[in-house]
Amino acid sequence: MIVVQSLHKSYGEFEAVRGLTFHMRHGEVFGFLGPNGAGKSTTMRIIAGLIQPSAGTVTVDGHDLARDPIAVKAITSFIPDRPFLYEKLTAFETLELVGGLHRLPRAEIGTRGAELLRRFELGDWADALVESFSHGMKQRLVFAAALLPRPRLLIVDEPMVGLDPRGARLVKAVLREQCEAGASVFLSTHTMDVAQEVCDRIAILSRGRIAALGTMDELRAEAQEPGSSLEQIFLRLTEEARTEPAAEDAPA
């Protein structure tokens, strides 16, 4: 679904992403984890077509992002860690706006929009202004809007921020449902339990590079910690990567 080759992103002299190469399979939940400043959000925004890489290539479902960005964006939905919504619109008007941007038929927007609002427990709030919503309600509305056009790729950055336990359980169920329906989910989260529960494979980043990538069993083998939790593996691998000198800092 996603093929990333030799990806770099620099901001002035600071290199946020340092030669990332990995692939994500069709129909999987792919976890993308790392400490703050590891390059996760930068990579996700590059894949979503929001920022340009300094070097490297990204292919999404066979489309080269640099050559055909519209084709990539047409099949991709991005959910940021903070919901950005027009607060003077109602919940349903928000879905109408998103559906219109994707050129969905009005009848489909009406039917599917109502279904999604009910799925995210917002059916009774369809005609309420977004400004009256709690943070968790806004986050659930963003999910509903992202799923409206039936994306083949869903990129999700910190989905559990501001959600209560019921909302978090709902979102985890929806992520698995998307994969079962044939979509792919690229997920970044600091909540290790969530990643361990829902992800098929996990990449752990540190200092703009991948420290490890694989299933839980493969990560345990990489960290030489059989039976350990993802949190234990994460802390060990990112600490090892943090203490290793970067290539440009290593002695000649």
Tens of pLDDT, residues 121-136: 999 999 999 999 999 9
Report residue 224's pLDDT band, with 50, 70 and 90 as the boundaries. confident
Dist. CA 83–CA 70, nearest whole Å: 23
Q: Is it the case that residue 250 has pLDDT exceeding 70?
A: no
Residues 165-185 as b or e (16 or more Cβ within 10 Å = b): eebbebbbebbeebbeeebbb
- Amino acid 228: pLDDT: 86
What rounded mean pLDDT belongs to the chain? Answer: 91
Percent of the chain with pLDDT over 90: 79
- Amino acid 201: pLDDT: 97
Dist. CA 85–CA 125, nearest whole Å: 15
The ranges of the chain annotated as CATH 3.40.50.300 are 25-75+151-252
Dist. CA 132–CA 82, nearest whole Å: 16
Q: Is it the case that residue 243 has pLDDT exceeding 80?
A: no
Report, as an integer, the average pLDDT of 204-214.
93
Cβ burial of 252 (10 Å; 0-12, 13-18, 19+) is exposed
Higher pLDDT: 251 or 18? It is: 18
Report, as an integer, the average pLDDT of 79-89.
91
Which CATH number does 25-75+151-252 carry? Answer: 3.40.50.300
In this prediction the pTM is 0.90
Q: Count other Cβ atoms within 10 Å, centred on residue 47.
A: 25
Q: Contact 16/208 with Cβ under 8 angstroms?
A: yes
